[in-house]
Every structure is written in C-alpha cells, then in structure tokens.
Structure 1
Amino acid sequence: MYLKIAENRLYCRSVVINLRFMLFTIASQVIFEEEIKKSRFQAIAVPVANEQDVKDFLEISKDISTTHQCWAWKIGNNVRFNDDGEPSGTAGRPILATIEGNELSNILVLVNRWYGGVKLGMGGLVRAYGGCAGQCLLLAEKIELIEKKKVSFSCQFNEWAIFQYELNQQQIEFQQDYTATGVDVIALLQIHQIEPLSLKIQDVTRGREQLKMLEEPQYD
C-alpha cells in the first residue's frame, strides 16, 4: 500500500514538472475594448515569432489619434515593455505581468488609450492597463509552443543517404549543402529529437562528427 502511494506521488510530481515547462502562445490576433472613467482602452494581442515581427506590428499600428500606445512582449526568455508617456511602471509592466501570469510566450500585447479627461491615478492606471490586457487574453485561443533548436553536422557523401532517410522519417526540417568533401547539414530539431540524432551521427561517422548547436531556441 505504501509503495503504491509513493509511486502515485512520484507520478503526480512528474506530471507537474512536465506541465511547468510547457509553453503556450495565442492562435491569432484578438482585440478587446472598454471604457474606464471616460478613457477608451483598446487591447490588441498578437502572436509573434521574433523581434522583427514586433517592430513590424508596432509600426503598422501607429495611431496619432491615441493619447498613449503602451505595450509589452515576451519571446522565450526575452521581454520588453513601454509606458509611452504614462507614469513609469503603470502601463507596460502591468501588461507584461498579465502575459506572464497567463504563462504565454511569443506574444505582443498593445494597449491603446484615448484620454477622456479624468485622471485615473497610479493604481487606476495599473488596473486599467493590466485589466484590459487580461480581458483581451481571455478571448484568445491558447496553443502549445513547440521548442526547436537549430543544429548542424557534416557527413561524407556515402553517409548522406542514411541521414537523409532519418531526417525525412522524423519529419525534420533541414537544408543540405554539398561541398568538395561531403555534405553540410542544418536542421531544426524538437528537444526530444536531439539526443537520438546526436547518437546516430556518432555511430554512423564512428565518432568523427558531432551535432553542433547553432543558436537560441525557436518556437513553432
């Protein structure tokens, strides 16, 4: 009986640990609007893959009719936020806190404000920006982010058919470059695919080649 309880506790703990490392984003753009003490607030949440996506969206979303355009984004471990003229810490940071509170990544939330003549105070601004962003995210469909890492390896011509078959079987995205001495390969691997491919490379090349990590994780 004690053994079964211990096993169940271990299983539950394992499930919790796995869930903690699951990342989510939103499936598509969502918009939420509300009026707070005569000020109009509009939150727009969009999925983004990189900082260029952020810059592009903020550029096309510029609106000179707004009083403030405050935003926050998170991509992996990277975060940024902007108060756009509101008192420091009252707009961008509450938006970011809402993103992180929903355990989201690869997302940008922009909150536009049209001032209505009534001041909200520091606490009121925090609640307004954070609350509007939160209501917006409640409307969004959340989808799991699959972490991928860009890797590279090389092989000889007579080994390439083996690796090409393996990559295709695992539905791994890859590009190959034929050189004078063999084939250079760049691939995008899910985390669970890294170790098996690394072992395969060492086995086929008899330890001559190794899998190399190229950059920060990417997400699909």
Structure 2
Amino acid sequence: MYLQAVQNRLYCRCVVIYSRFMPFTIASSVTFEEDIKKSRFQAIAAPVENEQAVKDFLELHKDITTTHQCWAWKIGHNVRFNDAGEPSGTAGRPILATIEGNELTNVIVLVNRWYGGIKLGTGGLVRAYGGCAGQCLLLAEKIELIEKKKISFACQFNEWAIFQYELNQQHIEFQEQYTATGVQVEALLQVHQIQPLTLKIQDVTRGREQLKIIEESEHD
C-alpha cells in the first residue's frame, strides 16, 4: 500500500512537470473589443506556424482607419513586437507579455486602436494594450501544439493517385508540381505521420524514392 502510494505521487508529479513543458497554442482566431476613455481597442489573436503566416495575417488585417496597429508574436523561441507609433514599450511589449504569461507559442496578437481624443499616458497605454490582448487570449481555446515538418518526395505519374488519396485521407496539406518525369510533392506532416508515409513511399515506388525532410532556414 505504501509503495503504491509513493508510485502514485511520483506519477502525478511527473504529469505536472510534463504538462508544464508541453507547448500550447490557440485553436483558432478570436477577437475582443473594449472602449477605454473614448478610444476603441480591438484585439485579434490567431495561431501562426511561421513568419510567412505572420506576414499574411498582418496584410489581411491592415486597416487604414486605425490610429495604431500594434502587435506581437511568438513562434518557438523567436519573438517580435511593434509599437506602431505608440511610445516605446507601451504597446508591443505588453502584448508579448500576455502571450508569454499565458504560456503560448505560435501565436500572434494584433491590437488596433482608434484614438478617441483623451491621452492615456504611459501606464494607461501599457494597461490598455496588455489588458485588451489578455482578455482576447482568455477567449481562445488552448490546444497542445503538434510539431510539424515540411517534407518532399517524388513519384511517377501512375503512382500519384495513390499518394494523393493517402494525403487527403490524413488531411495533410500538400502541393504538387508536375515535371517532365513525374510529380514533385511538398507536404506539411505531423511528426507521427512521417514514418508511415516514409514506408508507403518505399513500398509504392519499390525503394526508388525516399521521403526527405526540408530543414527551414533560420532566416526564412
């Protein structure tokens, strides 16, 4: 009985430690709005997988009617933030602090401000931007971040239908390019999907083709 109790306590402790280090992101885009001293603040949070997704998000939400569009994002160990004309340290950094405070990664939060004529002061801006971003993230569903890898492989024309079916069945994002000799494929796989697809490629092509993992450049 005593040994079982000790084992149970050790198991629970391991679960807690493991959960602390599991990366989490948000399931989908969420929005929160509030008025602070006649200024309207609107926060939009979204999951992002890479810097291109960040650029696409910011381009999509570009709004010339706003007074300021401040943002912050975190992808793995990489972080960026922008005060967008607000006093240095009063907007982008507080937004980033809310992302890190919620222990999230692969997330961008944009906070739009429409100035209402009353200045908030340095402390007021920090509270407004950080608070609005924080309230927005409270609305988001946290999900465990599943690591993905970009891969590539080639196949002949008569083999492509087999692979296309396999990729669609597993809801894998892919792009195909037709060449003179066959089809070149790039796909984004969850880590656990790599080994089965590797074996499938070897089987269908009789060992002629191999799955290759594309290592992204740090400067991408």
**C-alpha spacing 1:41/1:158, structure 2 compared with 1 (3 Å):** closer
Q: Write the distance in 1 (CA, Å) between the matches of 2:118 and 2:161.
A: 70
Q: List aligned pairs for 1:8-47, cutoff 5 A.
A: 9-10=10-11, 13=14, 16-17=17-18, 20-25=21-26, 27-35=28-36, 38=37, 40-47=39-46
In percent, how many aligned pairs have the same letter?
Answer: 56
Q: Give structure 2 stretches of 5+ with no counterpart.
A: none
**C-alpha spacing 1:10/1:180, structure 2 compared with 1 (3 Å):** farther
CA RMSD across the alignment: 3.6
Q: After TM superposition, give the deviation of residue 152 of structure 1 in Å.
A: 0.9
**C-alpha spacing 1:88/1:194, structure 2 compared with 1 (3 Å):** same
What SS does the corresponding residue of 1:110 show, helix, strand or coil? strand
TM-score relative to the length of structure 1: 0.70
1:54 maps to 2:57: yes
TM-score relative to the length of structure 2: 0.70
Q: Write the distance in 1 (CA, Å) between the matches of 2:176 and 2:119.
A: 61
**128-137 vs 76-85, which moves further:** 76-85
**C-alpha spacing 1:70/1:168, structure 2 compared with 1 (3 Å):** closer
Aligned to 1:109: 110
Q: Give structure 1 stretches of 5+ with no counterpart.
A: none
**C-alpha spacing 1:84/1:10, structure 2 compared with 1 (3 Å):** same
**C-alpha spacing 1:98/1:149, structure 2 compared with 1 (3 Å):** same
Q: Write the distance in 2 (CA, Å) between the matches of 1:195 and 1:104.
A: 26
CA distances 1:72-127 after superposition (whole Å, capped 9, x unpaired): 23455543222233332121100111122221533332141526445534x44322
Q: Write the distance in 2 (CA, Å) between the matches of 1:204 and 1:125.
A: 60
1:79 maps to 2:79: yes
**C-alpha spacing 1:41/1:134, structure 2 compared with 1 (3 Å):** farther
CA distances 1:37-61 after superposition (whole Å, capped 9, x unpaired): x4625132142641332332442x2
What SS does the corresponding residue of 1:132 show, helix, strand or coil? helix
Q: Write the distance in 1 (CA, Å) between the matches of 2:157 and 2:8.
A: 49
Q: Write the distance in 1 (CA, Å) between the matches of 2:184 and 2:158.
A: 13
Q: Write the distance in 2 (CA, Å) between the matches of 1:193 and 1:58.
A: 33
Aligned to 1:129: 129
Q: Write the distance in 2 (CA, Å) between the matches of 1:209 and 1:11.
A: 45
Contact 1:26 1:107 in 2 (8 A): no
Q: List aligned pairs for 1:1-220, cutoff 5 A.
A: 2=3, 5-6=6-7, 9-10=10-11, 13=14, 16-17=17-18, 20-25=21-26, 27-35=28-36, 38=37, 40-47=39-46, 49=48, 50-59=53-62, 61-63=63-65, 66=67, 68-75=68-75, 77-102=77-102, 103-112=104-113, 114=115, 116-118=117-119, 120-121=121-122, 123-138=123-138, 140-142=139-141, 144=143, 146-156=146-156, 163-164=163-164, 166-202=166-202, 205=205, 207-214=207-214, 216=216
**C-alpha spacing 1:2/1:151, structure 2 compared with 1 (3 Å):** same
**C-alpha spacing 1:173/1:135, structure 2 compared with 1 (3 Å):** closer
